[in-house]
Chains A and B, each alone.
Chain A
Amino acid sequence: MADTEVRPVENGEPTEPGQRPRRSGRRSLFLALIIILGTMIYAFGYEVTDVDLDEIRSETRRTQLVRVIRELARPDLITYERIPTNTDAAILLPCPNGGFTPPAPDPNSRHIVVSPACGEPGVDINVSGFNFSGNARGTLYQVPPGSNLELRLDTFQTDEDGTFTVTVDTRERAETEPQTIRAVTRENIGTIFNRVQVDTGEVDDDTGEPITVTSPRISKAATDTWERIIETVFLALLATTLGVFIAVPMSFLAARNLMRDVSTPVIKLALQMLALPIGIGVGILAARLARDVSERLIESDFLVIGGAILLPVLMWIALRWAYPPLEETPPTSQEKAARGAVTAGVAVAGILLLYLVSNLLISFGDWLEEHGGFFDFIGSFLSSNGDVLEAIIAVTTALITAGTLMSLAGRLGTWLKARVPANVIRNATLPLAAVAGAIIAVLIARGIGWLYQITDPMKITWVPAAVGALFGLFLAMRAYRKEQVGIGLTIYYLARTVFNAIRSIEPLIMVIVFVVWVGLGPFAGSLALALHTVAALAKLYSEQVESIMEGPLEAVKATGANRLQTIVYAVVPQIVPPYISFTLYRWDINVRMSTIIGFAGGGGIGFLLQQNIRLLNYRAASVNMLAIAIVVASMDYLSSRVRERIV
């Protein structure tokens, strides 16, 4: 600090004496314009946002505000059982000859003093109470001797010290015996340190025993909040987990450095596009076949369990044979064919196995749900996982089959490219590309046609086919010389666009669609959050992939590793810490989002909070907000601690 010195400030721009006034004049004009423009912008802003200072100063608004803030400051955490408490004093109406002296009350306990202690019926009396609870409300009654009749006189409110004084008219009722002036207050029973059991006066219908409650106890608002906050945290957990599972593979597709070099010969691409719809068709057929077989199998539990044990063993042996851990010499074509056949067989067995496993899960889950007692929720978890598995088998099978056929078509393309003269390939590419383009275009058009309920075959088949064919031809012509198309970058841009589009829609809005699909509740909320998580995480993850060190990638590639091996051995080790860090960060965000996703029907604490605010139940709302604050803060702390340790 010692050697800081004040330097003379120089004007940055060299100015000639003659020029200076003009330039500074222009500058002030510019400044004035900016000020005027700024004023206009903010004035317009005031106008459209209805800034109204009168509302701020309004007396009624202020009272309301104070009331709400005070209620918010007293979260409804603890409920006291309150019972009516009588505090009696005697009065004699009318006054006897000798006057009347009521029994003296204990000055240390709660008591009321009536003056005068006797008088004509209907006389005005002063009632003072001492040692009541502070700020409590109560009612004064006049009770004739030997009866249960309570004649209402007036209400009272104690001050902070628990005392009050009111003047009331007595009822015009003459009795020879002393009558009772009774102050009835509703008093909290017990204290936090001295909890008591209170008889509610009701009787259990089944056992006939009187129902007792503890006072004070945790309030209904607090228990509801507890239930909902648990729901909220797990909603966020499920959404994050589901999102991560999808986002991780997607992030590789959206990483420029991995996709940049992926290019493919046009002939290969065209053949693959042709194989895609065929593959999906074959895949659906295969899934259906496996389901039929499994339905026949599941009639016997013995077969199901036997199959579920035997199939993996058989598959393992077959795969061990087909794919030796080391391959020293290139396989012959017979070996290749045999391997292909074995792989196809294993795939069908795999689908069958999945059906069996899903069936096992469902039956075991259902059994556990009925007989598991406390663990019934695990049963329901297993059985719904079985359901999910069964539902996705057909889709995955179709996709995997399509993928397999596409890779076979790709190999055919590579093989053709190596065997057939280049100009023949080039010319064969054009019609193939046209057909492939037509097929893809028709598929897309069918999708759009379904969305807008178009059935005209001209619009959803012939025109798209023609356009697609032209587009395919155009692409093939463009790549005519190079013979390669950079499919990787296309996928990259496509993935990026989709992620950005999804990411720009807030989960609060997405949940509206999911509520229509799966109904109000936390499930809709977790689906909406999961979708948003996929898009957001895939983007964050892919940026991490893009920033990895290229060196190891190069080194692993140079050993002869294929793409999958390169990713597993060179990319994955580098991205594990940032992936974990981003996942925690996202869970953090999801917990925060899930606290309000209930506002749009997505379940969790937000649903409760919204209800309480609408019902003007601010003390309960305050409990909800408190819970949100605690959960969000502790998640924040926890995730930052975990991130610190990992990264």
Chain B
Amino acid sequence: MSIALKVENITVSYGNFIALDNVSLEFQEHTTLGLVGESGSGKSTLARVIAGLILPDEGQILLGSQTLSRKRSREQHKMIQMVFQNPDSSLNPKHTIRQILAEGLLFHNIVRHSQVENRCRELLFRVHLDESSLDRYPHEFSGGQRQRIALARALSVEPSILIADEPTSALDVSVQLSMLELLNTLKAELNLTMLFISHDLGVINAISDTVAVMRHGKLVEINQKERFFSHPETAYSYELLSAVPKMPISNR
């Protein structure tokens, strides 16, 4: 399998504080990398660097074979999309859902103008939302629905890489599972490569193929999922895994 994305020696610092310290990662095509870490580990910063929102002080990112320049082209932006953590602030409150979904479609000329309405309906359908949502505003939807709309928006421009920055952390547990299933389904259908960030190891176990652990801006461990959970290689990973509260019974 080829490498979809390569992160090389990325360093980001804010004054004396080092958010990312020489981080290097490889993303295999069509797999999900689960990035786990506590607060301040730099996982969200890494996500934003990959998405092009933060410029690293050092290092570079390679998308396939091309190096992404500091000012990305429209095409390069299109390839990497992101779903954010907070459903309350990931959609512009003053835009209708139609405007939100159509924006990417029109900007990147994904479809002709006449086809935009149809495509919006298809996008909503794919995330299990009704087409009547198009005329509505974000505040009329629940947190889970808003995350699905955000997902539809990210997928509207047909990216090859999807970054999900704790997309289920702010959702109720009952909604969490359906969101994870949706992500898995879409990832398979659309042949995406996914970076899934979470502090919840249970979620990481459910969705990842590979697991990477970050701490204080450094990459601590990276391994295949099964191996990571059964044979963690570092003391920190072991500490994380042991700290997860466990149910007194087996619930499967």
Same complex origin of A and B? no
A residues with CB within 8 A of B: none
